[in-house]
Structure 1
Amino acid sequence: MAAVGRLTQKLLKSVTLTQTRQLSAAAAAHGEQAAKTWKILSFVVALPGVAVCMLNMYLRAQQHQHEQPEFIPYSHLRIRSKRFPWGDGTKSLFHNPHVNALPDGYEHHDE
C-alpha cells in the first residue's frame, strides 16, 4: 500500500513538473509578443502623440499676446511686511519684471 502511495506521488510530481515547464515556455513566448506589441505602440502612438502636443504648444505660444496685464492695486496682494533678504528687498526670488508686479506697479523699462 505504501508503495502505491509513493508511486502515485512520483507520477504526480513528474506531471506537475512537465506542466510547469510547458506553462513557463508559453509565458515566455507571450512575454516576447507583449514586449514587441508595446514597442510598436510606443513608436506608432506615443511618440507621434508627444510630437503633436509639442506642435500644439508651439503654435499657441506664437499666438500668445506678450503684453503686461493691467495693474490693479488690490490691498490684499503684494503685501510686504518684511523685506526680502536678497536684492533691494522688494522683488521675490524668481522675479520677472515683465510678469510680476511690485507693490506700486510694474517696472517700466524703455526698450
Structure 2
Amino acid sequence: MALSGRFSSAVLRSASRVQTRQLSAAAHGDQGAKTWKILSFVVALPGVAVCMLNTFLKIQHHSHDQPEFIPYSHLRLRSKRFPWGDGNKSLFHNSHVNALPDGYESQDH
C-alpha cells in the first residue's frame, strides 16, 4: 500500500515537471488567434456557402425519374436468398432506385 502511494506521488511529481505543448494561438500570442479567426471568416465560411449553393443547384437540375432497366448478367445476382423479408431485396432496398433481378417493382412512375 505504501509502495503504491510513493509510486503515484512520484508519477505526479514527474508529470508536473513535463512541459506541455502549447496550441498555435497560445504560442503566437494574440496574433495567432486573430489569424485563425480571420481565416475562419474569410476562407471557411465562404467555402461552406459555395458548397451549399453547388449542392442546391445540382439538386434543382437532377432528374427524379427511374433510370432505364437493362438486365446485365453480372448485376443483381442472387445465388442465395437474403435472410430477411422475401429474400430478394437487399437490407436497405429502395423500390424507386434499386432494381430487382427482373426489373423495378413498379413501372408506373
Global fold match (TM > 0.5): yes
Q: Which runs of 5 or more structure 1 residues have no equivalent in the other structure?
A: 1-27
Q: 1:32: Cα distance to partner?
A: 2.3
Q: Please report the RMSD computed on the Cα atoms of aligned residues, expressed in angstroms.
A: 2.0
The alignment covers a number of residue pairs equal to 85
**For residues 15-34 of structure 1, what are the structure 2 equivalents within 5 Å?**
30-34=28-32
Q: Which residue number in structure 2 is paired with residue 52 of structure 1?
A: 50
Give me the identity figure in percent. Answer: 82
Q: Which residue number in structure 1 is paired with residue 40 of structure 2?
A: 42
Q: Which runs of 5 or more structure 2 residues have no equivalent in the other structure?
A: 1-25
Letter matched to residue 88 of structure 2: T
**For residues 8-19 of structure 1, what are the structure 2 equivalents within 5 Å?**
none
Q: How far apart are the structure 2 equivalents of 1:67 and 1:31? A: 57
Where in structure 1 do 4 or more consecutive aligned residues deviate above 4 Å?
Answer: none
Structure with more of its chain in helix, by fraction:
1
Normalising to structure 2: TM-score of the pair? 0.70
Q: Which has the larger radius of gyration?
A: 1
